[in-house]
Chains A and B, each alone.
Chain A
Amino acid sequence: MLSTAPVQTTLPNDLARIVRDKALWIRRRSFQMVYEAQLGHPGGDFSSADILAALYFGVLRFDPTKPGDPGRDRFVMSKGHCTGAFYAVLAAAGYFPEAELTTYMEPQSRLNGHPNRNYLPGVETNTGPLGHGLPVATGIAIAGQMDGADFRTFVLTGDGELQEGSNWEAALTAGHRKLENLTVIIDRNRLQQGARTEETASLDPLDDKWRAFGWHVETIDGHDPDQLLAMLSASPKGRGKPLCVIANTIKGKGVSFMHDNVDWHHGVPNKEQYEQAMAELV
Chain B
Amino acid sequence: MSAAAPAEAGLFDCRDSFAATIESLAEQDARIVTVVSDSVGSSKLAGFRKKWPERMVNVGIAEQTLVAVGAGLANGGKVPFVSAASCFITGRAMEQVKADIAYSNVNVKLIGQSSGVAYGELGPTHHSIEDMAWLRLFNNLTLIVPADPWQTEQAIRAAAVMDGPVFVRISRMPVPALARKHARFEIGKAETLMEGNDAAIIANGTMVHRAVAAARALAVEGISARVINMATVNPLDEAAILAAAETGAIVTVEEHSVRGGLGGAVAEIVTANTPVPMRIMGFPGFVPTGSAAWLMEHFGLTETGIADAVRQTIARK
Contact A125:B104 (CB < 8 A) given known A136-B72, A140-B75, A141-B72: yes
Which residues of A sit under 8 angstroms from B62, Cβ to Cβ? 169-170, 172-173
Among B41-49, B94-102, B114-122, which stretch is in contact with chain A? B94-102
Q: Are B99 and A169 in contact (CB under 8 A)?
A: no
Find chain A residues with CB under 8 A from B54 CB: 146
Contact B78 A132 (CB under 8 A): no
- Given A129-B95, A169-B64, A139 contacting B69 (CB threshold 8 A): yes
Q: Point out the residue from A116, A131, A135 that lies within 8 Å of B69, measured CB to CB.
A: A135
With A and B bound together, what is the CA distance between A74 and B77 in angstroms? 13
- Minimal Cβ-Cβ distance residue in B for A125: B104
* B180 vs chain A, min Cβ distance (A): 38
A contacts with B: majority SS:
helix
Query: Is A91 positioned at the interface, with any CB of B under 8 Å from its CB?
Result: no
Which has the most chain A C-beta neighbours within 10 Å: B59, B65, B72, B80?
B72
Complex Cα distance, B94 from A153, in Å, reads 25
CA distance A176 to B106 in the complex (A): 25
What distance in Å separates the Cβ of A84 from its nearest Cβ neighbour in chain B? 20
| A residues in contact with B95, CB < 8 Å | 129, 132
| Residues on B with beta carbons closer than 8 Å to the beta carbon of A126 | 99-100, 103-104
Interface size classification for chain A: 20 to 34
Structural contact, B104 and A142, CB atoms closer than 8 A: no
Question: 17 interchain pairs (CB within 8 A)?
Answer: A116-B103, A118-B104, A118-B105, A128-B99, A129-B99, A132-B99, A136-B69, A138-B72, A139-B69, A139-B74, A140-B72, A140-B76, A165-B64, A166-B96, A170-B62, A170-B65, A172-B59
The verdict on A173 contacting B69 (CB below 8 Å), with A70-B77, A166-B64 known, is yes
Q: Closest A residue to B54 by CB, please name it.
A: A146
Q: Determine the distance from Cα of A214 to Cα of B75 in the docked complex, in whole angstroms.
A: 24
Quick one: which of B60, B65, B78, B100 contacts A125, CB cutoff 8 A?
A: B100
The smallest beta-carbon distance between B128 and chain A, in angstroms, is 21
Interface centre among B33, B69, B78, B80 (most CB of A within 10 A): B69
A117: interface (CB < 8 Å): yes
Question: Which residue of A136, A146, A166, A172 contacts B75 across the interface (Cβ within 8 Å)?
Answer: A136
Specify which of A116, A124, A169 lies most central, judged by the most chain B CB atoms within 10 Å of its CB: A169
Contact A143 B105, CB 8 Å, known A128-B99, A132-B99, A173-B59: no
Closest beta carbon of chain B to A166's beta carbon, Å? 4
CB distance from B68 to the nearest CB of A (A): 3
The reply on B173 being an interface residue by CB < 8 A is no
Across the interface, name the chain B residue whose C-beta is closest to A149: B76
Which A residues lie at the B interface, using CB under 8 A? Answer: 70, 74, 116-118, 124-129, 131-132, 135-144, 146-147, 149, 165-166, 169-170, 172-173, 176
Chain A neighbourhood of B80, CB < 8 A: 139
Q: Contacts A129-B99, A143-B72 known; list 18 others, CB within 8 Å.
A: A70-B76, A124-B75, A125-B75, A127-B99, A132-B99, A136-B68, A136-B71, A136-B72, A138-B65, A138-B69, A142-B69, A142-B72, A165-B64, A166-B64, A170-B62, A170-B68, A172-B59, A172-B62
Size of the B side of the interface (Cβ < 8 Å), in residues, is 29
When C-beta atoms are compared, the residue in chain A nearest to B105 turns out to be: A118
When the two chains form their complex, are residues A143 and B104 in contact, meaning their CB atoms are under 8 A apart? no
Nearest-neighbour CB distance to chain A for B34, whole angstroms, equals: 12
A131 to B33, CA, bound (A): 24
Does B73 belong to the interface (CB within 8 Å)?
yes
Q: Are A166 and B65 in contact (CB under 8 A)?
A: yes
- Most chain B beta carbons < 10 A, residue from A116, A125, A139, A173: A139
- Tell me if B60 and A173 are in contact (CB < 8 A): yes
Chain A, residue nearest B69 (CB)? A139
Q: How far is the CA of A144 from the CA of B68 in the complex (A)?
A: 15
CB distance from B164 to the nearest CB of A (A): 11
Bound Cα distance from A118 to B77, whole angstroms: 16
Q: Chain A's nearest CB lies how many Å from the CB of B260?
A: 22
User: In the bound complex, do residue A135 and residue B99 qualify as a contact, i.e. CB atoms below 8 Å apart?
Assistant: no
Question: If the complex has contacts A135-B96, A170-B65, are A143 and B76 also in contact, measured as CB distance less than 8 A?
Answer: yes
Query: What are the residues of chain B within 8 A of A173 when measuring CB–CB?
Result: 59-60, 62, 65, 69
